[in-house]
Structure 1
Amino acid sequence: MSQATLTISSRNYSSWSLRGWLLCVMAGLDVEERMLSVDDPSARAELLLLSPSFLVPCLTHDGVKVWDTLAIAAYLDEITPKAGLLPAEVKARAHCRSICGEMHSGFSNLRSALPMNLKAHYPGFKVWAGAQADIDRVTEIWRDCLDTYGGPYLFGALSMADAMYAPVCLRFLTYDVPLDPVSRAYCSTIAQWPVLQQWIEAAKTEPEELEELDAEF
């Protein structure tokens, strides 16, 4: 398959960059990573939660340029249909698209209250009420999927839904969010995903250059 370029921002802070990268890995796409400077307007808009996926990540492949994580997911599913980014059965595919769309466009309180920071850990973190409603909805989605499709992933086997919700699992672990047993087990499964561990280890090597962003979150 042709070489591709994936433009990302911070591995430590950028949940959307992580989602785009996971999708490329799952699709078997050989990508060269291009890291934006934190001073780039596209990177800052995404990191400061001004946009769910402004122009980061951005995938360039075979003369095609596609940004926005859901658009990247749809493109990768089209060019690598055997990768299983979407479930095979029509009803499950519709369900998968729906919960991915909900992740893409919703949960703003969760995003602002629990920004991704893979280097941090906050035991006993107090979650404010607005974010708790988002947490409850996320875990409701997880329990429904795991019960319907049998686990250990949201649709039985790994799918784009797991890529979309993986950063939420990491947020829950970072902020020590209390979870029901089913949701806690799912978070643990995702946290042990080898490719996710690869991203986390790379994030830990990033320079401490986003102090201003910490203050602005």
Structure 2
Amino acid sequence: AVPDALTALVRLLATLHDDAGDVAVDGLVGREGATVDYPEDRVRAEAGLAEGVQFIGTGRITDRLWTKPALAILGVDAPSTGEAPNALVPAAKAKLSIRLAPGDDPKRAYAAVRAHLEQHAPWGAQVTVTFEHDGDPCVIDASGPMFDAARSAFRTAWDGTDPVDIGVGGSIPFIATFQEMFPKAAILVTGVEDPHARAHGPNESLHLGEFARVCLAEALLLRNVAAAGS
């Protein structure tokens, strides 16, 4: 008749997504707007998704990746299976990561997530929400001579293929800080990776052919930026 903390935590975490896999926290900003398609079969192959496993969320894949909020459970503190006693667990803890879409505010988003967790706690369980850190989402205005210089460098390095503007669901909060501190600057962030790089993972890798193109692109970029600024 007495609930345990781990079961309560599992039920609480399950309320963060609806049955389709969309984030179910009221108050988070999401929008559409991606202008390119990302075929599902390509996403499945590049993500290493096992056969039979479904995608989560609704709408276009690109919108789910770039313009909607995402929420992941990064870890849980509870007795390990090898050491768990046959007893009720009095306390359990989870670490959440919420990726915010452009147009959202981290303080408002944190308040929405905290309110959701407190309101959905099952069986009157006591919930403590501890803030760790945040970062502002942003959209870069990728127009002007410096970005033209960059696109020209990329186009040459990749044998005439036009570069495509995308959204990125990574966590680089200092970009928004740069925008605020240097409003007139053209901010260009480049990442050296290929579809199978698995960035930040334990098996992160880099295709050497891609690396060679990136080195060429970087050299051309510096030349083009110097010419554009003269």
Normalising by structure 2, what TM-score?
Answer: 0.23
Higher helix share: 1
Structure with higher RCO (Cα < 8 A, 6+ apart): 1
TM-score (norm 1): 0.24
**Greater C-alpha Rg:** 2
